[in-house]
Structure 1
Amino acid sequence: MSTVLVTGAARGLGLDFVKQYAARGWKVHACARSPEALKQVKGDIHAHKLEVTDYEAVKALAAGLKGEAIDVLICNAGVAGREAGDLGRIDPKVWRDTFEVNALAPLMMAEAFVDHVAASKDRKLIAISSRLGSITHNDGARYAYRASKTALNMEWKSLSKDTAGKGLICVVLHPGWVQTDMGGGSATLTIDQSVPAMVKVIDGLKSSDNGRFFNYDGAELPW
């Protein structure tokens, strides 16, 4: 049986990742601050109450799952940081909180679970990033969010180098502009269009994709 671990699993993209993998018969470790919503999903789901910025809790979860192979780890939890998005409105606390959740927390998850992923068959370490983290595509504003996702991208590139000897495939994915609480109702994609497409991309990843940045439809994005 294949196993996936998803953070931010109680709503939006994360919840649909749980549903997609559970429907395929995978064992799913679903991590969320409020995992109650996961009770409605059928399948081999193991819900874990987790605040991704509680690094002692992250380490404890990893220790509790010691010896278990995790084929795909999806670092999905994130925040928008809109209150620190525009020049003239930069709020240092919001900026720091945005970086904490979007950049540091995924790296701490990767550090805690790298051996679990390395012990699996698929060995895929995935971060849900954003096209807004691309320096090439930067058209201004969204300072905190853009910078946090650029930092996440850089971290994952480093991970791809540092874990190459373990055979991991480290990839960042842009889910598209999706109709979630974060994306808003004006977004151009539905969750049903984004997540199944990303799962298909994850399925198809091979060792030569290590350290790359992909759109939800599999197109490569510039850093």
Structure 2
Amino acid sequence: MAQGASWRRLGGPSQVMRSSYARALVNIGLIVGSERALVVDTGCGPRHAAEVLAAVRSVTPLPLVVANTHAHWDHFFGNAVFRHDGVSDFWAHAAARRHMAGTGESQRAAVSGVEPEMAAGEGPCTELVLPTRTVGADPVELDLGGVSAILFCLGPAHTDGDLMVGAPGVLFAGDVLEEGADPQFEDADRGGWVRVLRTLAGMGGGYPVMVPGHGNPVTAEFAARMADTMEGAVEGGAFESRANP
């Protein structure tokens, strides 16, 4: 299992693992139905993803589907390991797929210290595996067998292709929500991000648990506070571009 990590049950079919591999403290989501399971994000390269996959397999032997919440390296560089496990359906927002295709190779440098094979593009499972299925303006419902996962976008925010993954009572929001660290703005639509956070703040009735891309699960009230802070920074011109993730 990923270094120092364990699954945390969120209620219903959903769990989250805060994977502590190297410096990629990314949350991995898992939604398990009776026929297949959905994995939310795959980590930063083959070494990391192999640990994530082993952790997933400690929970379920079912066929897997993958959803990448956005196009930053720590959320999709592990896709090849999952393809090797038989995954054929990789979902993302259409804009995220375009961003992965356009910037994926240049993002390899970000993992040189922790995933040298991935950084060099040499060795097993180091190829960039792009999403095979995309979400546009309309939500997509995935039937996992007695459990539905809803894939949808609320508009540009952390990136122009942020994907939300909804399960009963739980929303995986990727880096649109950031707990325990500063948000990252390099690819952000700052005004749009505030608007999306306001929308999330009104969704607590359907999703009492919201999982950020990094950090602990939060609530809609956290999204509202994050929106207030970000709106004040936007209006005050206080934002500085920071490096991803």
The answer, yes or no, to whether TM exceeds 0.5 is no
- Normalising by structure 2, report the TM-score: 0.33
The structure richer in helix per residue is 1
The structure richer in strand per residue is 2
- Normalising by structure 1, report the TM-score: 0.35
